[in-house]
Amino acid sequence: MPTSDKVTSTSVFARVQVLISSYGPAIFIIGAIIGTGSVSSLVWSGAEYGMSLLWALLLSCVFFWVLISSVSRLTFAAGETFVGLAKKHFGKAGASYIVLAVVISQFASNIGVLGIVSEAFASWLQLNTLAVSAFWSGLIFILIAFGKYATFERVLIFFVTVLGLSFIVNMFLAHPSAESIALGLVPSIPPGGAVVAAAMVGTTLAASVVVMRSYVVHDKGWTLDDLNHAERDSRLSGVMIFVVSAIIMACAAATLHVKGLHIENAIDMAYTLEPLMGRFAATLFVVGIVSAGVSSAFTNALVSTWSVTDFFGLSRNPQTLHFRLIALPFCAAGLVAAITGGKPVVLQIMSLALQAIFLPLLVVFLLILANKESVVGKYKSTRLINILTVITLLFSLFMAYQAFVGLSELFQTNF
């Protein structure tokens, strides 16, 4: 290749890298949300109810955009993180609620996430589940303990790219019908679908996502000068989360639901796909599950550690001993299911539904702070954002009720 061609190729590659990095916060959030929990709930939804809960997914992505746009603007205007602002304006009780919501839900989520990843990986390759659990838990701890924000971004870019491509290829192989997709946009909750709908909403509209967004844009170094770009970043993440999630649901609906097949967890779909669409599609689905799970478990442990250190006024530098010690149990949570023989999928669905229950009060905190002149000055939320945030609050209350009802049913069935 001539030297000029090499320079041009390098220049194009460098520009692509800069472009991707400029939307790092969006990729960070996508990696956090599209995890094995969301994959499990979406596959379960698609297999059991077809595309009938697509409307709930769409609304959750719209309201997700509202919340992360609002918390980004709040973080820029105040120059502080959401947890720090909550502690200052609502006292330790208010900040404790947010931190506990993150810590409890993310620890439970990582038991489920890493349990599902390890189960899928070990089952597909005929390996020991506990050894696989130790591998993935150890890998995530090393990435956090010896990384920094730029490293975290690169890790998430890799896993999000792999999971996105895996599921997109599967969608083209599955061929979902346009009619079923259109009917799924008509609001309805089929019998038994409440907890699944709440789980899908819980993974997108979650306290941890709002808190994480504040840390990510703060650590990225964005300021009020980057407000317009941050808004584009927010829209991109909302659109991509909906597209990838809808693709996963459509794959299950087009292959499992139409044939009346039922599954217990996401890995079952890979085994079901093999005779229907071949080993290639099934392997791609496993790759997608593992990539989604690792990216999600990684961000779960990270946002939990950020929240705890921020609450106690400690450094959020991953190189410090206290940061690593706080991160350790969230990474080690992946061993729980393998040791106890528990049901990681059930726990994962429950943790996502729990997120939906925690959310409404956090939305209230965000609404108050985003309109408090002493906090944001002239950068208070616009009337449109306030109206949409109130609608989001009402939607979160409805889904919190659905989650409570669904969790009660799930407890009675499994415990």
> Confidence band (pLDDT; 50, 70, 90) for 117?
confident
Count CB-CB contacts under 10 A for residue 227: 15
The pLDDT assigned to 131 comes to 92
Q: Rounded CA gap, 344 and 257, in Å?
A: 23
The pLDDT assigned to 146 comes to 83
Taking only the tens place, the pLDDT of each residue in 265-320 is: 556 666 655 655 566 666 777 777 777 788 888 889 999 999 999 999 999 988 89
Count CB-CB contacts under 10 A for residue 348: 33
Closest by CA position to 403, among listed 101, 100, 200:
200
The pLDDT assigned to 125 comes to 81
CA-based R_g, the chain, Å:
21
The pLDDT assigned to 105 comes to 85
DSSP for residue 415? -
CB 64, CB 204: distance < 8 Å: yes
Output the CA angle 226-298-239, nearest 5 degrees: 50
The pLDDT assigned to 163 comes to 64
Report residue 47 as tokens: 């297999």
Kindly tell me if the per-residue pLDDT of 89 is higher than 70: yes
Locus of tokens 């919190």: 400
Kindly tell me if the per-residue pLDDT of 407 is higher than 90: no
Residues 6+ apart with CB under 8 A from 108: 347, 350, 351, 354
The pLDDT assigned to 81 comes to 93
Q: Which residue has the higher pLDDT, 55 or 186?
A: 55
How many angstroms separate the most distant Cα atoms in the chain? 69
Q: For residue 59, give the H/E element and its range.
A: helix 54-78
Q: Give the best-scoring range by mean pLDDT among 5-19, 98-112, 144-158.
A: 98-112
Q: Rounded CA gap, 253 and 260, in Å?
A: 10
Kindly tell me if the per-residue pLDDT of 328 is higher than 90: yes
Q: Average pLDDT, stretch 17-42?
A: 74
Output the CA angle 392-398-401, nearest 5 degrees: 140
- Per-chain mean pLDDT for the chain: 81
Taking only the tens place, the pLDDT of each residue in 369-391 is: 999 999 998 888 889 989 999 99
The pLDDT assigned to 74 comes to 94
**What's the CATH fold of domain 25-414?**
Amino acid/polyamine transporter I (1.20.1740)
Q: Virtual CA dihedral for 206, 208, 209, 211, nearest 10 degrees?
A: 130
Q: Rounded CA gap, 331 and 111, in Å?
A: 9
> Confidence band (pLDDT; 50, 70, 90) for 12?
low
Of the listed ranges 141-145, 246-250, 258-262, 398-402, the least confidently predicted one is 258-262
The pLDDT assigned to 309 comes to 96
Q: For residue 72, give the H/E element and its range.
A: helix 54-78
Could you give phi then psi for residue 287, rounded to 5 degrees? -60, -40
Closest by CA position to 310, among listed 319, 300, 322:
322
Closest by CA position to 202, among listed 402, 410, 409, 408:
402
Q: Average pLDDT, stretch 335-354?
A: 74
The pLDDT assigned to 4 comes to 46
Angle between helices 54-78 and 207-220 (to 10 degrees): 40
The pLDDT assigned to 149 comes to 65
Kindly tell me if the per-residue pLDDT of 134 is higher than 90: yes
DSSP for residue 255? I
Kindly tell me if the per-residue pLDDT of 15 is higher than 70: no
Closest by CA position to 247, among listed 157, 298, 295, 176:
176
The pLDDT assigned to 1 comes to 47
The pLDDT assigned to 16 comes to 59
Of the listed ranges 71-75, 158-162, 188-192, 211-215, the least confidently predicted one is 158-162
Closest by CA position to 310, among listed 84, 140, 104:
84
Kindly tell me if the per-residue pLDDT of 7 is higher than 50: no
% of the chain at pLDDT higher than 70: 80
Q: Rounded CA gap, 9 and 211, in Å?
A: 39
The pLDDT assigned to 85 comes to 95
Q: Rounded CA gap, 396 and 205, in Å?
A: 8
SS3 state of residue 160: helix
The pLDDT assigned to 10 comes to 53
> Confidence band (pLDDT; 50, 70, 90) for 173?
low
The pLDDT assigned to 275 comes to 54
Domain residue spans of the chain: 25-414
Q: Rounded CA gap, 404 and 195, in Å?
A: 8
Closest by CA position to 209, among listed 134, 300, 343, 86:
300
Kindly tell me if the per-residue pLDDT of 191 is higher than 80: no
